[in-house]
Amino acid sequence: MLHGRTAELAAVGDLLSAARAGRSGVLVVRGEAGIGKSALLSHAASQPRSTPELSDPSGTMKTGDPLAGTPAQRSSDRPAFLVLRGTAVESESVVPFAGLNLLLGPVVDRVDSLPPNQAAALRAALGLAAPDGGDHHLVGLAVLTLLADLAEHRPVLCLVDDAHWLDQGSAHALVFAARRLQAEGVAMLFAARDLHAPPFPAPGLPELRLTGLAPEHATALLEEHAADLPRHVRDRIAEEARGNPLALLELPAAQREGHLPAAHAYRVAALPTHSRIQQTFADRIAALPELTRTLLLVAAADDTGDPGVVFQAANLLGASVNDLEAAEQRQLLRADDGRLTFRHPLIRAAAYRGAPLKHRLAVHRALAEVVDDPHRSAWHLAAATTGPDEDVARALARTAEDARNRGGYLAVASAFHRAAELTPDPVERGHRLAAAAGAAGAAGQFDRAVELADRAWDLVGNPVDGARVARIQARLASEQGRSGQAAAQLARAVSCARHTDRELAGELLFNAANNAWAGRDFDLLRDIAARAGDLPGAEDTRAVVTAALGLEGDDVPGGMAALRGLLDSRYVGGPGNAVTAWWHLILGDDQAAHAWAFELERQSRAQGALGVLPRALAYLARGRLHLGQHRDARATAEEGLRIARDIGQEFSVGFLSSVLAELAALEGDEARCEELVATLTGGAPGSVRAACALALLDLGLGRHEVVLDRLADVAAGAHRLYSITSLPDLVEAAARLGRPGIAENAATWYDEWATGTGQPWARAVAARCRALLTDDERSFAEAVELHRAHEGRPFERARTELLYGEWLRRARRKADARTHLRSALEKFERLGTTPWAARARTELRATGESRAVPGPDPLGALTPQELQVVRLAAAGLSNRDIGAQLFLSPRTVGYHLYKAYPKLGVSSRVELAKLALA
């Protein structure tokens, strides 16, 4: 019985009931050590779960609704839970995917049923196949699919205790899967300590925080488990325990064993609760026979719970299985399901930390001798080593390379870092520190990576190695938005490599130019051009400088020509280089940028390359926005944003948020737009994109003065390349206020840029800007003709038609105005740009025409994820294929289809395929 946990038990009960009914749920249970987290997980695992097997042997439901029937009916149709349970341990936190091995061990036979790329990634992560060097993010998708597959036959309960000790690879995979579970029948419970332990970040997942028991519940617990002790002793224990259930159970045991000889003397209230309990455990362990203490120390240092390993190592130190009995009698260690387990993690900590150093070193040496896992053996050797030792360092470095191929970047960083500490030779120590820095950066630990790289720079012995370390430093700076610093570090790297590896030097100088451009360090750009000399790729490097100085200065045509030439750069290569899409957007070629991003997205999904996918989705969303595919742009951006946040890609988070902010601005959703731009503030380009999105919102709502204020820096020429699409907004606001002179410079620059693009839509917008500033109908007519003759940016075409229609109406040419206003209104309504449609409708009424209200658009009722799902289903993809593409479980795909069918007025895939879903 769990005293005082009525609300907590109800929350867990609701989670389990939902899973029985086919709905997934997650709960992260947090609290201090001993507060009852493990007890709550054990309660969940022990709940009655007897229901008949599914009548359909395949485990699939006969109805189209994945959640059909009442909750009671669905529950009665679901058999007992499949329980997967694991407890993470501290020393395993450096072993890649150790937590997944523990949790998924009972179901590894199901891995081969996954899609091939997912199966390969998960097999490599679990050590069932040779490392394949694949994308480590794909492991999370494989876990999601595996859990969904298991839940097809019966609900699944995943219990992860001490989640704060999970290795990073396992934690990422499990949290990734937890965020995407929806309609499978999977319940996940994580237990994580609040204090005196590493953090377990799980943003977005619901949490349940446990606090101490109320006095009446603490008294009831003591009366149940310590009725043999005098009342005054129980009162003192209750006071010291401060509501901590484990303390309420363990202090009486310590009292009975004589470790608390006088209750009134047990005055340690200044210590944290976990310290008081741990000291109690330490005292009880100290009273055991020496060989029993040795056996406990081996079990604490081993962490696998494998009796064979523990007893083999203990035998080397003189202990045996016979010495286990005393620990079992005191309920410190027990054998469960073929594993040796401590009754509580604090017992393990007390057994290990309370032992003398020489004993711990001996235990680790013994374990290193008997374990057959090279990762664990190397780490035990490292734990047994107190000074430099190249053999041990080399063994750790080998495990780091293996962990890299398995995708465990934090494990790579830790292994190389420890290997460096044990390396006698300073130069080799620098190499290993550099490798640790690169892995820490890949794991998102940028501060740690920078510190390691700086230490490596001081140790490496030759210029080429120095260049490679500087390249790591530059990449870290660039990923943190410090482009100027990255450029300086790359320039320093060029100096190191120039005379020893000219190919490397040329590549580094090209990247230095790109970073200097991003950081707007024009003096450094000029210096880079002068230093290019005859290095490989020098012409490409000088072209970057010419493009940057021209577009950011007074030679827009020259800058555009140089940028167009860079599309064939030796350093751009295939479509995998993100800078290619950026260049296409600067060149105004929306179709090329969209095609590049679409192909990269396709490749990323096929390979499960989640590390590349957010950037591809960011450019794809931007391309779809420009091409007038607003629904798809939103669905693409929201999917990319979810993934980017999951894997910590801050640049992509900002880029994707800016697309969503612009969509909200177009729709007149002021609250949503402001919410999104709040995440974009800071240095350029984020603050520029924020200002541009808000200016577009203000323009649609008629706040022209505010538009001028927001775009003042744009008018002055700052960061024009991040705000090309906003220059016409500035022109329109200035014209509305009768202050055209404010926007003349911006209009001139835009006209030069539009001419340089050669894109008809851009030239049309430039003509529109001239018309607004000069009140010249010929420019309006030219703009409309260019729009109509060539497809491109339908929103801009609608704006041109609206502005020309307004001009014609003011000139009392109402019949001519209606033609343009009708066309503008139709496009605004199709795009969902509400304030712009309202403006066009008002103008149309002013011409004497009343526009009928259009019928409802069925696609408009779909959520972004439903829209993605129905489009793929209409193309003939199965639920499983759709799930693999969208990183959802097949059952969740079925749920989205079930919700979408009534909105579209269909009842099957056959009918869906007949709809016009473009």
Read off the pLDDT of each residue in 828-839 and give the average, rounded to a whole number: 92
> 207-209 and 186-193 as β-strands: parallel, antiparallel, unpaired?
unpaired
Taking 90 as the threshold, does the pLDDT of residue 29 lie above it?
Answer: yes
Read off the pLDDT of each residue in 807-825 and give the average, rounded to a whole number: 93
Instruction: Give the least confident one: 427-436, 472-481, 747-756.
Output: 472-481
Is the separation of the CB atoms in 398 and 83 below 8 Å?
Answer: no
DSSP line for 248-266:
HHHHHHHHHTTSSS-GGG-
Most confident of 444-458, 522-536, 711-725: 522-536
Place of tokens 């050797």: 381
3-state DSSP call for residue 857?
coil
Gyration radius of the chain's alpha carbons: 33
Taking 70 as the threshold, does the pLDDT of residue 793 lie above it?
Answer: yes
The model's pLDDT over 202-245, given as tens digits with 9 standing for 90+, comes to 888 999 999 999 989 988 988 888 888 888 788 878 877 778 88
> What interhelical angle do 168-180 and 138-150 show, nearest 10?
50
Is the separation of the CB atoms in 661 and 673 below 8 Å?
Answer: yes
Quickly list H helices, 443-501: 446-457, 463-479, 483-497
Place of tokens 């066309």: 823
- Amino acid at site 82: L
Taking 60 as the threshold, does the pLDDT of residue 121 lie above it?
Answer: yes
Query: With helix as H, strand as E and coil as C, how does 636-649 read?
Result: HHHHHHHHHHHHCC
Taking 90 as the threshold, does the pLDDT of residue 256 lie above it?
Answer: no
277's CB contacts (< 8 A; 6+ apart) are 33, 34, 244, 246, 247, 250, 251, 346
Taking 80 as the threshold, does the pLDDT of residue 826 lie above it?
Answer: yes
172's CB contacts (< 8 A; 6+ apart) are 136, 137, 139, 140, 646, 647
> 82-87 and 25-31 as β-strands: parallel, antiparallel, unpaired?
unpaired
Is the separation of the CB atoms in 408 and 167 below 8 Å?
Answer: yes
Is the separation of the CB atoms in 142 and 114 below 8 Å?
Answer: yes
Around Cβ 717, how many Cβ atoms within 10 Å? Answer: 13
Read off the pLDDT of each residue in 654-668 and give the average, rounded to a whole number: 94
Taking 50 as the threshold, does the pLDDT of residue 269 lie above it?
Answer: no
> Domain 383-572, CATH 1.10.287.3510 — does that match?
no
* Within this chain, domains 644-857 and 859-913 share the same CATH topology: no
Q: How far apart are CA 413 and CA 409, in angstroms?
A: 6
Terminal CA-CA length for the chain: 58
Token couple for 411: 């494990």
Around Cβ 258, how many Cβ atoms within 10 Å? Answer: 10
Whole-structure pTM over 0.85, yes or no?
no
Instruction: Give the least confident one: 491-495, 618-622, 718-722, 771-775.
Output: 718-722
**pLDDT range class, residue 323, cuts 50, 70, 90:** very high
Is the separation of the CB atoms in 402 and 385 below 8 Å?
Answer: no
Around Cβ 287, how many Cβ atoms within 10 Å? Answer: 14
609's CB contacts (< 8 A; 6+ apart) are 135, 137, 138, 603
Report which secondary-structure segment, H or E, holds 670: helix 670-677
CA–CA–CA angle 578, 583, 584 (5° rounding): 100
Query: For residue 476, how many C-alpha atoms fall within 13 Å in the half-sphere facing its CB?
Result: 27
**pLDDT range class, residue 562, cuts 50, 70, 90:** very high
Around Cβ 453, how many Cβ atoms within 10 Å? Answer: 26
Cα 304 to the chain's mean position, in Å?
30
CA–CA–CA angle 326, 327, 331 (5° rounding): 120
3-state DSSP call for residue 191?
strand
Most confident of 186-190, 224-228, 790-794: 186-190
Around Cβ 495, how many Cβ atoms within 10 Å? Answer: 15
Taking 80 as the threshold, does the pLDDT of residue 58 lie above it?
Answer: no
The pLDDT, as a whole number, for residue 6 is 92
Give domain limits for the chain.
Answer: 6-209, 215-285, 288-382, 383-572, 644-857, 859-913
The model's pLDDT over 3-20, given as tens digits with 9 standing for 90+, comes to 889 999 999 999 999 999
**pLDDT range class, residue 53, cuts 50, 70, 90:** very low
* Dihedral of the alpha carbons of 377, 382, 386, 387, in degrees to the nearest 10: 120
Please confirm whether the linkage preceding 424 is cis (ω < 30° from 0): no
The pLDDT, as a whole number, for residue 131 is 59
Instruction: Give the least confident one: 4-18, 271-285, 679-693, 892-906.
Output: 271-285
**CB burial class (10 A; 0-12, 13-18, 19+) of residue 115?**
middle
Token couple for 736: 């509305």
The pLDDT, as a whole number, for residue 255 is 76
- Say how many residues make up the chain: 918
The pLDDT, as a whole number, for residue 75 is 46
Read off the pLDDT of each residue in 660-685 and give the average, rounded to a whole number: 86
The pLDDT, as a whole number, for residue 69 is 41
Q: How far apart are CA 149 and CA 728, in angstroms?
A: 52
165's CB contacts (< 8 A; 6+ apart) are 88, 89, 90, 92, 93, 197, 198
What CATH number is given for 859-913 in this structure? 1.10.10.10
Q: How far apart are CA 439 and CA 414, in angstroms?
A: 9
Q: What is the mean pLDDT of the chain?
A: 84
What CATH number is given for 644-857 in this structure? 1.25.40.10
The pLDDT, as a whole number, for residue 50 is 36
Is the separation of the CB atoms in 253 and 260 below 8 Å?
Answer: no
Q: How far apart are CA 572 and CA 17, in angstroms?
A: 54
The pLDDT, as a whole number, for residue 627 is 95
Dmax (CA) of the chain: 105
Q: How far apart are CA 639 and CA 489, in angstroms?
A: 34
Q: How far apart are CA 621 and CA 630, in angstroms?
A: 9
**pLDDT range class, residue 262, cuts 50, 70, 90:** very low
Cα 497 to the chain's mean position, in Å?
35
Q: How far apart are CA 868 and CA 664, in angstroms?
A: 19
The pLDDT, as a whole number, for residue 66 is 43
3-state DSSP call for residue 96?
coil
> Domain 6-209, CATH 3.40.50 — does that match?
yes
Around Cβ 860, how many Cβ atoms within 10 Å? Answer: 11
Taking 60 as the threshold, does the pLDDT of residue 732 lie above it?
Answer: yes
The pLDDT, as a whole number, for residue 406 is 65
The conformational region for residue 517 under phi > 0 = left, psi -120 to 50 = alpha, else beta, is alpha
The model's pLDDT over 847-886, given as tens digits with 9 standing for 90+, comes to 988 665 455 566 777 888 888 888 888 888 888 888 878 8
Q: How far apart are CA 916 and CA 871, in angstroms?
A: 10
